[in-house]
Amino acid sequence: MSLLEHVDASTNLAKNNEVQLLIFKIDAAQTSPYYAINVFKTREVVEAKHHHLTLLPSVHPLLEGTIVLRGLQIPILNLPKWLGSELNNENKKNSNLLICDFNGIIIGIRIMFAYRVAKKNWSEMHAPDSYRLGEDGLVINDTRLDDGSLCLVLDYEKLLSEVIPQAMVNISESTNEIQNLVIPEKLKHGTVLIAEDSKTAQRYLRQIFTNAHLSYQIFNNGKELIEYVNAHPNPSSIPAIITDIEMPEMSGFTVVRLLKGNSETKAIPIIVNSSMTGDNNKREAMSLGADGFIDKTKSQNIIPLIISKMEAAKQALLLA
């Protein structure tokens, strides 16, 4: 049985504030730290030597080329190089390709080998301040394995935005959308709260809200957002909340469950903005009471979605 066949359902994990990580190494000498990715962003691990790499002209230096796997042409990204390490030709031949799915965008990431799958509670995932200085940090959070080894979770959205920017958020489309919208007074004069741990995703959301001249406040994880809301003198004044699913300290599903289970906050529209776009995750978000779900690569549509959900919430209150 392969490594990925041991994985539980992602929604059950997230519901319990848990995550399963695929742990891997990027170097043959194994001197690098352990790295990790949420296993539900992965499809499979294949041996590089069995797949012909087609080179592409005039592309980003981290884009090695493409392979064809099960009829799909998949771009291969050089993760070791992004992390400042180079694999020689022999090591490249013996390396593996981690096939990943980000919002339906299928890519391959070169790694040396997959180590194992580890289950962690999000409270065991930490985001040290040192990783959050500036916009150039590649590490999004870390955790410890059973033997005490440090394991780093990378900002894969940053890698994608650098190498395949056309796959990411279309900010200009967002600006055009806003021009044709009637902004509710509560949104115009209120502050939207955002829980998001990716610096890359934060940057896109900042641009979207700034271009729309709307106020927002970003929290680096769900726990910080919940603590802020709990201390808020008037939670009903909050026009909307946006939350990622995967976050250190507290998952977005836990954020939704806590807010929708509280009589003072249950009427606030909550939009889940995630790269975990499987149908199960969407259904789970809605079953917990989320008002909307949007793929991170479609974040340019988030303000129209907020407005429509605010109007729906207003009508529901009038009919109550």
Alpha-helical runs (H) found in 155-301: 156-163, 171-179, 185-189, 199-211, 222-230, 252-260, 279-287
Per-residue model confidence (pLDDT) at position 172:
73
Using 50, 70 and 90 to split pLDDT, how confident is the model at 1?
very low
Q: Is the pLDDT of residue 8 over 50?
A: no
CA distance 213 to 187: 10
Per-residue model confidence (pLDDT) at position 5:
45
Task: Compute CA distances 298 → 9, 144, 167, whole Å.
Answer: 25, 33, 10
Using 50, 70 and 90 to split pLDDT, how confident is the model at 3?
very low
CA distance 219 to 257: 18
Q: Is the pLDDT of residue 133 over 50?
A: no
Per-residue model confidence (pLDDT) at position 302:
92
Q: Is the pLDDT of residue 50 over 90?
A: yes
Map out the domains of the chain with their CATH numbers: 3-166 (2.40.50.180), 169-319 (3.40.50.2300)
**Which residue has better confidence, 20 or 239?**
239
**Which residue has better confidence, 78 or 296?**
78
Per-residue pLDDT of 248-273, as tens digits, reads 888 898 999 999 999 999 999 999 99
Greatest mean pLDDT among 128-132, 175-179, 231-235 lies in 231-235
User: Which pair of structure tokens corresponds to residue 78?
Assistant: 């050089």
Per-residue model confidence (pLDDT) at position 277:
60
Per-residue pLDDT of 84-124, as tens digits, reads 988 999 999 999 999 998 877 899 999 999 999 999 988 88
**Average pLDDT score over the chain:** 86
